[in-house]
Amino acid sequence: MNISQAIAASGTTSERDMANAIRFLAMDAVQTANSGHPGMPMGMADVATVLFNRFISIDPSMPDWADRDRFVLSAGHGSMLIYAIHHLVGYSDMTMDQLRNFRQWGSKTPGHPEYGHTLGVETTTGPLGQGITTAVGMALGEEMMAARFGRKLVDHFTYVIAGDGCLQEGISHEAIDLAGHLKLKKLIVLWDDNEISIDGATSLSTSMNQPMRFKAAGWDVQKVDGHDPEAVAAAIETARKSARPSLIACRTTIGKGAPTMQGSHKTHGAPLGKEEIAGAREALGWPHEPFAVPAGIKSAWESVANRGLAARKQWQERHAAARNAAAFDRTLSGELPESVFRKLAAFRKEHLEKATKVATRQASQMALEVINGATTLTIGGSADLTGSNLTQTSQTESIRPKRFKGRYVHYGIREHAMAAVMNGLALHGGFIPYGGTFLVFSDYARGGMRLSALMQQGVVYVLTHDSIGLGEDGPTHQPVEHLAMLRATPNINVYRPADIIETAECWELALRDRSTPSVLALSRQGLPMLRESGSSENLSARGGYVLHQPKGKRDVTLLATGSEVEIARKAAEQLLDLNGISAAVVSMPCWEKFAAQDQGYRDEVLGTAPRIAVEAAARMGWDRWIGPEGAFVGMDGFGASAPAAELYEHFGITAERVAGLALELTGRAGA
């Protein structure tokens, strides 16, 4: 008899009863809410019961215990599965009233599980494929922390329940390819293989041999009857011993237990109806009222928590005895040493004096060299554009299969997975991940980036080649709408620094904001240093500031970001030299931070003179800053393939054009 059989045999309550408790809580909660997804919790109740009852090590009384197993419900619509289990094992926030308030305002039981909102929810899921990919990040984080601190402190599994939807989404390919490559052996995915999706049978849209697909990616694969607890347990036992990530294909019946509807897509996303639920009570021998769980069954579930509590205490003993406990705790806290910021300030001072001229992508690498030297928390990476994004530094050795001490992830040509894996690393704890691609390919990463924002994870997106300034690669590679898209997204700070000084400042701000993801939009092309003041203040922290204040009264204010600040600065010079017009130049590296300043500061920066904004991107959003009388110089369509300087000419994003508009706005056009 192995451990899991011993556990299974020890209780008087059967796992069948424990699973039925999930089923009825799910059915009744969805019925009460009159919306939700009962089919998946019912279908996977047996698998989840075995997983939690025999294997998972969590302590509901300390949900953030560092060495807990991570459980990710990738099929997030089946949220009642996790809520029911959390209630049964005794998470303090998951009272029966919360289940009664499923999907209601202010409840701990939203439609899809939300990280930070409900105790023990490891990551927000719902957008399909995100969970399994974020779990790859968590499993990678586990290996990396273990490589740093040893298996006495770090030794946990990452379990995922994924549905057909997760495995059809493209991001799942990126996830399993990367996980198989890196041999993330402690990642175990339980696939709810119920052959049903929303439209009907999965045979409507797929003929994929999933086991073969996962084998091709280097995974171990097993197939079991998802309603046979011993088979499920044996498969999990085997998977835990594997040297590779594991897929367990669990053949299940969706809505298992619904007498007339089980096996049908009709159980997927709507209440079953009172009659069907009454029938289920009869069929499964569950005479209990809605939201009532017999004490014996509740107590069987609580033994899961008791086992976890004991494991947690044992771990705390190991932790107390570990020489590296303090370092472990410090790393896990994610707190940056103050020296990072001190050294960044010194870096700024040095380059302010030198007036260093570099592309902001290169400035970013120079700043990273400082940052990565001052902390080991930062984990770099790129979606196969390392030499273009300039994201690797002398300290960040590449991570390779089974070699996890490194600090640089070759994410491959997988922007979407990069975003979600970075989320997983951040959620695991112990890391501040940053990753690079071209700004235009934030399109591919959108799904994961939105979750960074929603989950308040301070990951950093290093998005280079941020405009037509990338030149010859042409319109497919030239972002136009992407700054607007990212600025419109709640809880993302979009930085577009103008020179090496602002780049270092923006990196500092990105590192300080641990609950807001940051985008650094960086130039491919070289840029001069523009900062005029010798002050050590981080001016980018205000989001926008007067970079150049003319002598005397302002006639016009030129607003710009990134590579276009140079153009605005040149226009100001021309206006003064040729026309005697005083133009202020305002650099706006971060709209979000500028919008957060008080009205007085903003009014002072923006001034009362006519305003012209210059940004090699879509106008969307600029009207807020330039007002109805203002002008905008930027893109009103897609880019083109040509050397950068010619593109700026052809699209009219030039100092001459800005100066000409300034003459018009100040009524001096004919002068």
Q: Which of residues 438-477 bind a copy of itself (CB under 8 A)?
A: 440-441, 443-444, 446-447, 450-451, 453-454, 471-477
Among 6, 96, 310, 413, interactor with a copy of itself by CB under 8 A? 413
Which of the stretches 494-502, 550-558, 608-616, 639-647 binds a copy of itself when contact is defined by CB under 8 A? 639-647
CA 61 to chain centre: 27
CB of 161 to a copy of itself, least distance (A): 16
> In this complex, which beta carbon is closest to a copy of itself, that of residue 386 or of residue 582?
386
Q: Which residues contact 289 (CB under 8 A, 6 or more apart)?
A: none
Which of the stretches 151-159, 250-258, 597-605, 645-653 binds a copy of itself when contact is defined by CB under 8 A? 645-653
Among 320, 628, 670, 671, interactor with a copy of itself by CB under 8 A? 628
> In this complex, which beta carbon is closest to a copy of itself, that of residue 304 or of residue 454?
454
Which residues in the 66-85 window bind a copy of itself by CB under 8 A? 76
Helices 39-50/79-89 angle, 10° precision: 40
Among 63, 116, 218, 406, interactor with a copy of itself by CB under 8 A? 218
Q: How far apart are CA 276 and CA 258, in angstroms?
A: 6
> In this complex, which beta carbon is closest to a copy of itself, that of residue 215 or of residue 240?
215
Quick note: the x/- pattern for a copy of itself over 14-53, rule CB under 8 A, is -------------------x-xx-----------------
CB of 611 to a copy of itself, least distance (A): 11
Among 488, 578, 596, 669, interactor with a copy of itself by CB under 8 A? 488
CB of 631 to a copy of itself, least distance (A): 13
> In this complex, which beta carbon is closest to a copy of itself, that of residue 224 or of residue 383?
383
Contact of 91 with 101, CB cutoff 8 Å: no
The b-or-e profile of 564-587 (16+ CB within 10 A means b, else e) is: bbbbbbbbbebbbeebebbbbbbb
> In this complex, which beta carbon is closest to a copy of itself, that of residue 332 or of residue 484?
484
> In this complex, which beta carbon is closest to a copy of itself, that of residue 187 or of residue 530?
187
Rg (CA), the chain: 28
Question: Does the active-site annotation cover 230?
Answer: no
Note whether 197 binds a copy of itself by CB under 8 A. Answer: yes
Q: Is the dihedral of CA 165, 170, 173, 175 positive or negative?
A: negative
- Of 171, 211, 215, the closest CA to residue 193 belongs to 211
> In this complex, which beta carbon is closest to a copy of itself, that of residue 388 or of residue 533?
388
> In this complex, which beta carbon is closest to a copy of itself, that of residue 175 or of residue 504?
175
Neighbours of 354 (CB within 10 A): 10
Q: How far apart are CA 282 and CA 482, in angstroms?
A: 56
Label the pairing between strands 556-560 and 187-193. unpaired
CB of 415 to a copy of itself, least distance (A): 8
Which residues in the 260-319 window bind a copy of itself by CB under 8 A? none
Which residues in the 232-261 window bind a copy of itself by CB under 8 A? none
Instruction: Report helix, strand and coil shares of the chain as percent, to nearest 5.
Output: 45, 10, 40
CB of 394 to a copy of itself, least distance (A): 17
HSE (CB half, 13 Å, CA atoms) of 530?
Answer: 33
CB of 182 to a copy of itself, least distance (A): 9
Which residues in the 85-144 window bind a copy of itself by CB under 8 A? 103-107, 110-112, 114, 124-129
Q: Which two tokens stand for residue 99?
A: 């289940």
Q: How far apart are CA 663 and CA 166, in angstroms?
A: 57
DSSP summary character for residue 456: T
> In this complex, which beta carbon is closest to a copy of itself, that of residue 68 or of residue 112?
112
Q: Which two tokens stand for residue 621?
A: 């959003």
Q: How far apart are CA 185 and CA 240, in angstroms?
A: 8
* Cα angle for residues 217, 165, 225 (degrees, 5° grid): 75
Contact of 559 with 515, CB cutoff 8 Å: no
CB of 153 to a copy of itself, least distance (A): 29
Which residues in the 373-392 window bind a copy of itself by CB under 8 A? 382, 384-388
Residue tagged active-site, from 142, 174, 276, 415? 415
- Of 554, 559, 557, the closest CA to residue 544 belongs to 559
Q: How far apart are CA 566 and CA 527, in angstroms?
A: 8
CB of 125 to a copy of itself, least distance (A): 8
Q: What is the DSSP string of 189-254?
A: EEEEE-SEETTEEGGGT----HHHHHHHTT-EEEEEETT-HHHHHHHHHHHHH-SS-EEEEEE--T
- Could you give phi then psi for residue 597, rounded to 5 degrees? -75, 165
Q: Is the dihedral of CA 649, 655, 661, 664 positive or negative?
A: negative
> In this complex, which beta carbon is closest to a copy of itself, that of residue 473 or of residue 513?
473
Among 285, 287, 490, 600, interactor with a copy of itself by CB under 8 A? 490
Q: Considering CB under 8 A, how many residues would be counted as binding a copy of itself?
A: 109
CB of 622 to a copy of itself, least distance (A): 9
Which residues in the 583-612 window bind a copy of itself by CB under 8 A? none
Which residues in the 151-180 window bind a copy of itself by CB under 8 A? 164-165, 168-174, 177-178, 180
Q: Which two tokens stand for residue 268?
A: 């997927």
> In this complex, which beta carbon is closest to a copy of itself, that of residue 387 or of residue 600?
387
CA 361 to chain centre: 22
**Measured between alpha carbons, how far is residue 68 from residues 55, 174, 313, 585 in Å?**
11, 26, 11, 53
Q: Which residues are catalytic?
A: 415
